[in-house]
Structure 1
Amino acid sequence: MPETRGRGRPRKDPQALARWTPPEGWSRLVAWVSPEEKKALKRVAVEAEVSVADLVRSLAGGLAAGVIDAEELIRQVRKGMQVMEKIPTLFERDDHFRVIDRPRAECAWVFAGEGTPTEKLDGTNVRLTVRSGRLVRVEKRRNPSKAQKQQGIVDGWYGDTDEYAADDKWILAAARNTDVSGWPDDEHPCEALGPRIQGNPLALDDHLCVPFNLEIPIYQDVPRSYTGLRDLLDKLESRYAPGHLAEGIVFHHPDGRRAKIKRKDFPQSN
């Protein structure tokens, strides 16, 4: 006969959920991570025999107490940012992760005058499948992890969103709020934008998706030098949301290559 296990000590109020009240002045930190990044954090947490939350807290505590070398941590963060970069930046970067006047070799085509400059929209990359003016599928872009890149997997791919996943809530809201009735039948790569996506830098009132192949604004007579792009982006107004500065520019080559530059990539002027 199998051994039965006791219920343990009952709560004083069985109908009330157990809650932890943070000390006064504490704040909650929320960050979005990919499935691969989440697994990496969990692996380290398991090795340290702590939860992921305690892992992050211990890092913050070490920084606050001065027992973690901030400079070394910053170097590791910059390495991580380079791994996350999906479209190459036009220029090389310095030790402070700001661009310098040294073009990247893989972006030589931009400096040769090739490619169309478009406004860079700061959101989430998705793909909407449209048939007969109706939205039939919503996918989000996934990018190879550092380990996958070392295995030769360099191109990203799209995977289906999950109706019940909290991570996909605002992507799906943007897709459903987008009028696709006039779109041709196709799989349309888009940028999902809105109040709950990437901090909403364009201060949009609603969530929506902007198709790269149909509506992304094109800029004319864009300079292709370090100083020219720096000075342009310092005052370049968004054509998608007038009254706000454009985040940057993405150059599109006819063969599918892309290269980008953002206003915040440049060193801050004094």
Structure 2
Amino acid sequence: MDEARGRGRPRKDPAALARWTPPEGWSRLVAWISPAEKKALKHVAVEADTSVADLVRALAAGLVGGVITYEELIGQVSKGKQVMEKIPTLFERDERFRVVDRPRAECAWVFDGAGVGTEKLDGTNVRLTVRAGRLVRVEKRRNPSKEQRKLGIVDGWYVDTSEDSAEDKWIHTAADNTDVSGWPDGEHPCEALGPRVQGNPLALAEHLCVPFNLQAPTISEVPRDFEQLREFLATLDSRFAPGQLAEGIVFHHPDGRRAKIKRKDFGLGAK
């Protein structure tokens, strides 16, 4: 039988509760976060040699003191949401999972003519972190499992890759082949492409990463009608790999909203 566990370290004042009393007028802020997000916050807190609570208060104090501007913070929050939120498809789908001529309400801005179109690249979603023109971190997107979706977890997140993992080999090859010397500091969502990624639909000779915020090919004068979009995508040449068909189009609204449509949504086959 295991020995009984000994008592822990006694309180200095056994009669007093081990509880922090907030100053008068303070209130408590509660937010539900995923395990991965909690881990990320703890990682930052450890690096800063503080607690998660003090980390959040430091951020709030920075806003109050003007060290961090509201514009800077909103910009980072918007960028994070754009990266991780699932991009809605322009139209509703039928039982075969193909689109039908019924626009989705949240994509109404596309049919109103707002936003610009860029080529949707068919690869693996990754995120590269750059500092002083050098690549310092490589991450890949992790989508929620079936069990997690049942729990209401619908948006994906990024996890670190490993250079020693066979699963991440071609992601690192693509990242290493990508010239980031001219990229601004920050986290850049990208599409990893190449011979060993997703069947290489663009028939590329080498692996590389294309940053959505810097190099996504723009497509001008994109139709905004169901039938016209189907005809347009049937012959749309890739701006990134001329001679190959583009996978689809992503529409970008000035406020950060996005919407997508792909060739296969219409049941269009290969060239």
1:96 aligns with: 96
CA distance in 1 between partners of 2:192 and 2:261 (Å): 20
**Is 1:173–2:176 an aligned residue pair?**
no
**Is 1:144–2:148 an aligned residue pair?**
no
Confirm or deny: 8 A CA contact 2:130 2:136 kept in the other structure: yes
User: May I ask how many residue pairs the two structures share in their alignment?
Assistant: 185
Residue 222 of structure 1, CA deviation: 0.6
**Is 1:122–2:127 an aligned residue pair?**
no
CA distance in 2 between partners of 1:151 and 1:257 (Å): 25
Residue 86 of structure 1, CA deviation: 3.8
1:234 aligns with: 234
Percent identity reads: 76
Q: Which amino acid aligns with 2:169?
A: K
Indicate how the Cα distance of structure 1 residues 250 and 162 shifts in structure 2: closer, same or farther if over 3 A, else same: same
Q: Which amino acid aligns with 1:140?
A: K
Residue 96 of structure 1, CA deviation: 1.9
Q: Which amino acid aligns with 2:123?
A: G
CA distance in 1 between partners of 2:89 and 2:236 (Å): 18
Q: Which amino acid aligns with 2:145?
A: S
CA distance in 2 between partners of 1:268 and 1:154 (Å): 28
CA deviations on 1:138-164 (whole Å, 9 max, x unpaired) are: 001112234333434333211100122
Confirm or deny: 8 A CA contact 1:86 1:143 kept in the other structure: no
Confirm or deny: 8 A CA contact 2:234 2:268 kept in the other structure: no
Q: Which amino acid aligns with 1:100?
A: V
Q: Gaps (5+ residues) in structure 2?
A: 1-84
**Is 1:195–2:198 an aligned residue pair?**
no
Residue 109 of structure 1, CA deviation: 2.0
Matched residue of 2:110: which SS?
helix
CA deviations on 1:198-238 (whole Å, 9 max, x unpaired) are: 00000000000000011001111111110111111111111
Question: What TM-score, normalized to structure 2?
Answer: 0.65
CA deviations on 1:126-149 (whole Å, 9 max, x unpaired) are: 000111111000001112234333
Question: What TM-score, normalized to structure 1?
Answer: 0.65
1:251 aligns with: 251
**Is 1:105–2:105 an aligned residue pair?**
yes
Residue 257 of structure 1, CA deviation: 2.5
Q: Which amino acid aligns with 1:244?
A: Q
Residue 268 of structure 1, CA deviation: 4.9
CA distance in 1 between partners of 2:111 and 2:152 (Å): 27
1:204 aligns with: 204
CA distance in 1 between partners of 2:158 and 2:97 (Å): 29
CA deviations on 1:39-79 (whole Å, 9 max, x unpaired) are: xxxxxxxxxxxxxxxxxxxxxxxxxxxxxxxxxxxxxxxxx
Confirm or deny: 8 A CA contact 1:122 1:193 kept in the other structure: yes
2:37 aligns with: none
CA distance in 1 between partners of 2:94 and 2:155 (Å): 26
Confirm or deny: 8 A CA contact 2:141 2:157 kept in the other structure: yes
1:223 aligns with: 223
Residue 250 of structure 1, CA deviation: 0.8
1:68 aligns with: none
Confirm or deny: 8 A CA contact 1:126 1:189 kept in the other structure: yes
Indicate how the Cα distance of structure 1 residues 148 and 174 shifts in structure 2: closer, same or farther if over 3 A, else same: same
Matched residue of 1:158: which SS?
strand
CA distance in 2 between partners of 1:156 and 1:265 (Å): 21
CA distance in 2 between partners of 1:267 and 1:208 (Å): 28
Q: Which amino acid aligns with 1:254?
A: P
- C-alpha root-mean-square deviation of aligned residues, in Å? 1.8
Q: Which amino acid aligns with 1:241?
A: A
CA deviations on 1:77-107 (whole Å, 9 max, x unpaired) are: xxxxxxxx94221111122222111111222
